[in-house]
Amino acid sequence: MCISMDGLVDYHTHSVLSDGSGVYEEMVQVAIKKGLSEIGFSDHICLREADWAVSSIDLPVMTEQISEIKEKYKDYITIRYGIEMDYFLGEESRLEKIINSLPLDYVIGSVHFIGDWNFDTDKSLYGKWDNDELYHIYFELIQKAAKSKLFDVIGHLDIIKKFRVYPESNQKALFEQTIKVLKESDCVVELNTGGLDRPCNEFTPNAELIKMCFAHGVPVTLGSDAHAVSQIGRHFDIAVDLLKETGYTGIVAFNKRGRNNMKI
């Protein structure tokens, strides 16, 4: 099925400034071609030294390039300035300082690290805990990230399953508790469509969690997690179908960290 992407946003994209392969202009041109209403850039910002994140000296470059491209394409598409920021427990004031230094439209908070272990890229420590325990550690970090109130959006909510790592027993209570915290903390959840192309082969979060988000009144937005321009808006037709089936009638759009509802 092919849908129009008019009225849709893609808020989770990476450029060459972090670990993507495209430059902003190429990304914008693809977004226009695909008919998206908005594209947001969300390059990685990480307090740890990481070659996949924007280096601190590139932060002013990022701000300048985004402000130029916003202006250049303003008659064709709305461009938003976001970041995907790694959450680190106990380092909230350092994170806040960076966030406040940038003229952002939104901030995606993601958990890719447990302590210093980047479980998103390094498979070596899976098996150190049983999976139920690992899920508890991960979702408790998600809850802390939400409660920090630093982030507008929680990124790929159940990314701990990326390498097909699933709990041994039913974790519905943990998921429910987490989603309640998201609601209380006024967080938006992104339906990250990139998961479908990862080993887990399903959206992050999956349909079960999206249903729980809806039941608890947690709003959603959309992101492809594109690291190549061809991935912009990927699987959005399936994503919109899932959201509508679940009961959602709109997604959240951001402007200078304020929110608007866009009908789907």
Q: Interface with Zn ion by CB under 5 A: which residues?
A: 84, 110, 225
201: region left, alpha or beta (phi > 0 left; psi from -120 to 50 alpha): left
Alpha-carbon span 178 to 171, nearest angstrom: 11
Cβ-based neighbours of 48, under 8 Å, separated by 6 or more = 86, 88, 113, 116
Between residues 109 and 132, which has the closer beta carbon with respect to Zn ion? 109
Question: What six digits make up the tokens of 40?
Answer: 């947001």
Q: For tokens 């150190």, name the residue.
A: 128
- CB of 130 vs Zn ion, minimal distance in Å: 24
Between residues 16 and 215, which has the closer beta carbon with respect to Zn ion? 16
Between residues 118 and 132, which has the closer beta carbon with respect to Zn ion? 118
Q: How far is CA 138 from the centre of its chain?
A: 16
- CB of 142 vs Zn ion, minimal distance in Å: 13
DSSP annotation of 205? S
| Sequence letter at residue 222 | L
| 3-state DSSP percent of the chain in helix, strand and coil, to 5 | 35, 20, 40
DSSP annotation of 10? E
Between residues 3 and 102, which has the closer beta carbon with respect to Zn ion? 102
- CB of 26 vs Zn ion, minimal distance in Å: 17
- CB of 113 vs Zn ion, minimal distance in Å: 11
Between residues 164 and 263, which has the closer beta carbon with respect to Zn ion? 164
- CB of 24 vs Zn ion, minimal distance in Å: 16
Between residues 52 and 126, which has the closer beta carbon with respect to Zn ion? 52
- CB of 197 vs Zn ion, minimal distance in Å: 13
Q: How many alpha carbons fall within 13 Å on the CB side of residue 133?
A: 5
Contact 257, 227 (CB under 8 A): no
